Amino acid sequence: MGEYVAPLKDMRFVLNNIVDLNALSKLDGFEHAESDVVDAVLEEAGKFATNVLSPINKSGDLQGSHVKDAVVTTPDGWIDAYAQFVEGGWNGISAPEEFDGGGLPSAVALATVEMWNSANLAFSLCPLLTQGAIESLLAHGTEEQQQTYLKKLVSGEWAATMNLTESQAGSDVGALRSKAEPAEDGSWRISGQKIFITYGDHELSENIIHLVLARTPGAPAGTRGISLFIVPKFLVNDDGSLGARNDLKCVSLEEKIGIHASPTAVMSYGDEGNCVGYLIGGENKGMACMFTMMNSARLNVGVQGLAIAERAYQQAVEYARDRKQGQAPGMPKGEMAPIINHADVRRMLMTMKANIEAMRCLIYLNGECLDKAHHHPDETVRAESMGMAELLTPMSKGWSTDLGVELASIAVQIHGGMGFVEETGVGQYYRDARILPIYEGTNGIQALDLVGRKLGLNGGAPVKTILADMDIVVQELAQTGNEFTAMSLQLGLAVSALKEATDWLYTNAPNDPNAAPAGATPYLRMFSTVVGGYLLAKSALKAKNLLAAGDGDKGFLDAKIVTANFFTAQILPQATALLGPVTEGANTLFAITEEQLSA
Amino acid sequence: MGEYVAPLKDMRFVLNNIVDLNALSKLDGFEHAESDVVDAVLEEAGKFATNVLSPINKSGDLQGSHVKDAVVTTPDGWIDAYAQFVEGGWNGISAPEEFDGGGLPSAVALATVEMWNSANLAFSLCPLLTQGAIESLLAHGTEEQQQTYLKKLVSGEWAATMNLTESQAGSDVGALRSKAEPAEDGSWRISGQKIFITYGDHELSENIIHLVLARTPGAPAGTRGISLFIVPKFLVNDDGSLGARNDLKCVSLEEKIGIHASPTAVMSYGDEGNCVGYLIGGENKGMACMFTMMNSARLNVGVQGLAIAERAYQQAVEYARDRKQGQAPGMPKGEMAPIINHADVRRMLMTMKANIEAMRCLIYLNGECLDKAHHHPDETVRAESMGMAELLTPMSKGWSTDLGVELASIAVQIHGGMGFVEETGVGQYYRDARILPIYEGTNGIQALDLVGRKLGLNGGAPVKTILADMDIVVQELAQTGNEFTAMSLQLGLAVSALKEATDWLYTNAPNDPNAAPAGATPYLRMFSTVVGGYLLAKSALKAKNLLAAGDGDKGFLDAKIVTANFFTAQILPQATALLGPVTEGANTLFAITEEQLSA
């Protein structure tokens, strides 16, 4: 199998045609994001992914991370790769220049995050978590906290973790029991045990900044009584140098199905009664801070779904071009054909390609919305963009990670028996991908977030906006000529069904507390798939215009139109058909008892 | 996690209401298959699965099989469990009594095969392969061959393997190169290397009978020049005792994603030029013999898909009843609810349950068709039944194994973070399941078999028969009262769409060699899902009658109706929506080049 190669053509296409990179580069803070700079960044990032991260992906899986005496050792090559990652300035390319960041838009940074994760998902979790902490500190940290931690986190010299989960508090984060007691010096003493802490310990960075959710004395029950604390592995002296080792440790690592190289730690805080933490964002404001971290992390986990699918796709295409079996129609008689010439293998590859390109549109668009939400001069645009980003986030996370698993599985299938053999490497993607629909809020939680919070956000404004833009695309397709008639029809049907499902949820959710939860998962799938179809259709329109102007890579643009056609003809009907399942309500779900389910 | 418990209620329901067990017991050779005997057999089999096979499933995965100096060692407990399996007479319960078999119908045997595979899929592969050899010997062996091998294979004292695949000959079995040269004594000398040989070597049985496909001198190219050979690990003396060690060996074992305990061997035949084989079924008749083995094996692999889903389901229900997170509507305020009370978890469980029960109907029905094909006194019925069995086989294999993967993945999801941790055991099902859509003919091959061979079989008679019975069920539902109106409507829509897709294939396949292959996979999914819906709807009608008669377990029968409703409302619309994808043809599949796929 070859190393990963960044799909620069498609990344650039999405950044210039779905995202308006040119407009982003005119916003405050993104002055350097000019087209040629972005091009150069992506190209260098691609090289780094191919040459540094990709070659240690499989060896990392085989070797895994290990813990001994509370010290975690990562696989061979990890330390060196991380040092190069920091050295290259990759860790903070979207952080503000004020903190030595690259000042690039999220939309661009997401393309690099995609590359890191395609090349080596287990490695890339370390910077992914650091990124969440950076955003949390930027949004909620005091100036002193920002000065103390941000530059080191932005550079990557220090890494960070997110500590939410406890054994009794998973999806129900409000059930957590870790404690924070005030100390005389204004800091806090943290105690408790956290599980599933990604990169909870490692030797890649000189310090690790743990962000830990805990309860202060007398805090209200549930999510309203949660506070967030900065808990460094090594305390930081006033001059910025490292001080005493804090009272926290890695107790054990989980044996997992995949991402073996990423240490998933049980962390214990305050065993000696002296774990120092610093409140961030105010007492009982932990949920707000957590959402800052999580929204970043959720979008980035969505990228992971896209990334693992892309990696699996590249390997599947390569295998399908090499492997010869059977005769294919139209191929020379008597010779075995590369399996890429068999219709069913084509179907699998096109299914991967179309979904991947749709996800890329959704995710980069989601990033652009965040960029505008933070950097646009017009307050109204900022608010609207934030609304749209929030609407898209559960789709980016939920849909892309479900697809990550499904498409990795297709890549295994394309490899036949070799796909089930670890040697090929494609099995690793299937195993690694399986965590993605679970962590950073299970996809069930994403679906509840979509129907429970995001549909009603700003009086439903983001939903109305995107549905209206879908209508425009349907119209444009219809007006553009015969080649887009079928696409217009299919997309139109899907948009109608989506509107009907959405209306049903608006109407029924207030009366039946189980109506929206019952339909949440098919609704997320439906909405995301329709968004995917709409963005690919938009891509096809753009491609047609570019072709008409004689602009760009003809082969690539032709393929874009075919891919959009494939998506609307082959994939979109499944979304349209989810109208029934969404609007069935909870009837058949609760019509039998627990005992009947067990019988 | 608890041990597997055989779902005896549902197994019996299917055997008595979808299969006509009573009628089977009246056929020649099945005299002992009376209801009480079958009940007792299933109950004992369930105990064996729970007490002997299930407890060593996870330890077997952790330990794996290993090879050293060409000798394979299976995990701890394997030898003892296999000895008990043989001792209990489980290996040959559907073999003819003439060869010391149990003389039970396949439909019943499949229920036990389901149990073995739910309890321990990696273990159960050994008898699964032996079963294929038994059927091949029964159909194609000379009387001497039958006398020499069958009793030992039926008892399980000897095991068997199937040797088709070579590195250049996977799906394209006609490309195999292994050779057979005639020897003076009428036997043959075999040479060649085979890969992916399940249980290619082990210490469970005193002998292993390898069935090996090879080419004789001057044989035609492709599948028409293939012959099948019996190649025993130890030659058999005239008195039935074991003779010399044959010239064959296990070269290595594959490192796989799952079924670690099942040794997947590279086998080398004739390294010393003295590998003795015996022709079975005549020269160049290997494909026919292979299909006998494979049809049995394909149905049994379909059972594996069902079985792994059932095991994963049982564990998911147990977890969902135990694990408490969050508040659920209708549950006591302020208390965490078991997650089984959350609508989205219910949806996942119902999706598993409904698909599992549908698969069970399809597979046992497939078994009944085989029983009638072999044992019915009326030649016409035998031929019709064989046609129906052949139509159903690619669906049993393809659909059930795709679902095995999908439903195991859902079970992981229900476990949340714990699902990704190997400790829980559910990850093993996700890993083990992944081989099922690949071996015994990839699901792409199953789909091609369906559209390429089975649709046209006997002038399309089996297809017409099943579609006509679907119409009857749609009508019966409509006439039975309000409670089945929605089911009738959904099933009716799905059957109409299936007919349209079928007609499209009949019309277009002759003109475009890629038309049927392009639609094959969605068509298999569509057809199978509609069959599943129709059989569950039939089950609901039967359940209603039983309820009206005050007969049977009310809770179980009520649940059956709910499950059928869930399937038709939530799952069937996806099948209906496959009409478009099936009838799109190959256009978008081949509209871009290999290079464009790689870009």
B593 CB neighbours in chain A (<8 A) are: 555
- Shortest distance, CA A264 to any CA of chain B (angstroms): 10
Q: Of A434, A569, A577, which has the smallest distance from its Cβ to B430's Cβ? A: A434
Q: From A593, which residue of chain B is nearest by alpha-carbon distance?
A: B559
- Are the beta carbons of A265 and A365 closer than 8 angstroms? no
In a domain, A112, yes or no: no
- Contacts A–B by Cβ distance under 8 A: 276
- Shortest distance, CA A122 to any CA of chain B (angstroms): 14
Verify whether the Cβ–Cβ distance A594 to B321 is below 8 Å: yes
Alpha-carbon distance of A413 to B171, in angstroms, equals 12
Q: Of B413, B431, B574, which has the smallest distance from its Cβ to A442's Cβ? A: B413
A586 CB neighbours in chain B (<8 A) are: 343, 346
Alpha-carbon distance of A347 to B586, in angstroms, equals 9
Q: Is A114 a catalytic residue?
A: no
| Interface probe, candidates A420, A424, A438, chain B, greatest B C-beta count within 10 A | A420
Strand partners, B36: none
Listing DSSP states for A222-259 in one string gives: GGGG-EEEEEESEEE-TTS-EEEEPSEEEEEE--BSS-
Alpha-carbon distance of A401 to A296, in angstroms, equals 15
Q: Of A196, A570, A581, which has the smallest distance from its Cβ to B417's Cβ? A: A196
Q: From A598, which residue of chain B is nearest by alpha-carbon distance?
A: B317
Verify whether the Cβ–Cβ distance B569 to A576 is below 8 Å: no
Alpha-carbon distance of B90 to B87, in angstroms, equals 8
Q: From A8, which residue of chain B is nearest by alpha-carbon distance?
A: B599
Q: What is the pLDDT of residue A563?
A: 98
A590 CB neighbours in chain B (<8 A) are: 343, 346
In a domain, A495, yes or no: yes
Verify whether the Cβ–Cβ distance B444 to A344 is below 8 Å: yes
In a domain, A545, yes or no: yes
Verify whether the Cβ–Cβ distance A599 to B559 is below 8 Å: yes
Q: Of A350, A417, A421, which has the smallest distance from its Cβ to B165's Cβ? A: A417
For chain B, the first-to-last Cα distance in angstroms comes to 47
| Interface probe, candidates B346, B426, B556, B576, chain A, greatest A C-beta count within 10 A | B346
A326 CB neighbours in chain B (<8 A) are: 171-172
Verify whether the Cβ–Cβ distance B256 to A340 is below 8 Å: no
Verify whether the Cβ–Cβ distance A443 to B413 is below 8 Å: yes
Q: Of B420, B574, B597, which has the smallest distance from its Cβ to A434's Cβ? A: B420
Element (H, E) at A182: strand A179-182
Listing DSSP states for A536-547 in one string gives: HHHHHHHHHHHH
Helices (H), ranges, A156-211: none
- Are the beta carbons of A228 and A281 closer than 8 angstroms? yes
Residue B421 structure tokens: 């941790």
Verify whether the Cβ–Cβ distance B422 to A257 is below 8 Å: yes
Alpha-carbon distance of B214 to B233, in angstroms, equals 17
**Helices and strands (H and E) in chain A: how many:** 21, 12
Q: Of A420, A586, A596, which has the smallest distance from its Cβ to B438's Cβ? A: A420
What residues in chain A have per-residue pLDDT under 50? none
Q: What is the pLDDT of residue A292?
A: 82
A121 CB neighbours in chain B (<8 A) are: none
Strand partners, B198: B264
Q: Of B254, B344, B448, which has the smallest distance from its Cβ to A517's Cβ? A: B344
Q: Of A321, A520, A578, which has the smallest distance from its Cβ to B344's Cβ? A: A520
In a domain, B517, yes or no: yes
A413 CB neighbours in chain B (<8 A) are: 437-438, 442-444
Residue (of B571, B565, B559) closest to B484 by Cα position? B565
B421 CB neighbours in chain A (<8 A) are: 254-257
- Shortest distance, CA B259 to any CA of chain A (angstroms): 10
Residue identified by tokens 């939400």 is A373
Q: Is the ipTM of this complex over 0.85?
A: yes
Alpha-carbon distance of B595 to A554, in angstroms, equals 13
Residue B428 structure tokens: 């093993």
In a domain, A503, yes or no: yes
Strand partners, A207: A158
Q: What is the pLDDT of residue B296?
A: 84
How many CB atoms lie under 10 A from the CB of residue A248? 28
Q: Of B255, B258, B420, which has the smallest distance from its Cβ to A423's Cβ? A: B255
- Shortest distance, CA B313 to any CA of chain A (angstroms): 9
Residue B388 structure tokens: 């129906």
| Interface probe, candidates A432, A589, A590, chain B, greatest B C-beta count within 10 A | A589
Instruction: Encode B18-43: b = buried (16+ Cβ within 10 Å), e = exposed.
Output: bbebeebbebebbeebeeeebeebbe
- Shortest distance, CA B598 to any CA of chain A (angstroms): 6
A422 CB neighbours in chain B (<8 A) are: 255-257
- Residues whose CB falls within 8 Å of the CB of residue B487, separated by 6 or more in sequence, listed in order: B477, B537, B540, B564, B565, B568, B569
Q: Which amino acid is at B568?
A: T
What residues in chain B have per-residue pLDDT under 70? 1
In a domain, B480, yes or no: yes
Q: Which amino acid is at B66?
A: H
Residue A458 structure tokens: 């700003």
Verify whether the Cβ–Cβ distance B171 to A326 is below 8 Å: yes
Listing DSSP states for B20-34 in one string gives: -HHHHTTSTT-TT--
Alpha-carbon distance of B84 to B74, in angstroms, equals 16
In a domain, B549, yes or no: yes
Verify whether the Cβ–Cβ distance B518 to A343 is below 8 Å: yes
Verify whether the Cβ–Cβ distance B344 to A565 is below 8 Å: no
Alpha-carbon distance of A354 to A360, in angstroms, equals 10
Verify whether the Cβ–Cβ distance B434 to A412 is below 8 Å: yes
Alpha-carbon distance of A289 to A284, in angstroms, equals 10
| Interface probe, candidates B592, B593, B594, chain A, greatest A C-beta count within 10 A | B592
CA A137 to chain centre: 20
Length of chain A: 599
Q: What is the pLDDT of residue A1?
A: 67
Q: Which amino acid is at B4?
A: Y
Structural domain boundaries, residue B486: 456-599
Among A440, A483, A500, A594, the active-site one is: A440
A165 CB neighbours in chain B (<8 A) are: 417
- Are the beta carbons of A263 and A159 closer than 8 angstroms? no
How many structural domains compose chain A?
A: 1
Q: What is the pLDDT of residue B292?
A: 82
Alpha-carbon distance of A425 to A435, in angstroms, equals 17
Q: What is the pLDDT of residue B1?
A: 67
Residue (of A153, A157, A156, A174) closest to A165 by Cα position? A174
Q: From A439, which residue of chain B is nearest by alpha-carbon distance?
A: B417
Q: What is the pLDDT of residue A532?
A: 98
A436 CB neighbours in chain B (<8 A) are: none
- Shortest distance, CA B152 to any CA of chain A (angstroms): 31
Q: Looking at beta carbons, which pairs linking A508-514 to residues 24 or more positions away fall under 8 Å?
A: A508/A583, A508/A585, A509/A451, A512/A585, A512/A586, A513/B329, A513/B330, A514/A585, A514/A586, A514/A589, A514/A590, A514/B329, A514/B330, A514/B343
Residue B307 structure tokens: 């079985």
- Shortest distance, CA B463 to any CA of chain A (angstroms): 23
In a domain, B162, yes or no: no
- Shortest distance, CA A518 to any CA of chain B (angstroms): 5
Verify whether the Cβ–Cβ distance A417 to B599 is below 8 Å: no
Element (H, E) at A83: helix A78-87
Residue A197 structure tokens: 């802490």
Residue identified by tokens 């393997």 is B161
- Are the beta carbons of B173 and B290 closer than 8 angstroms? yes
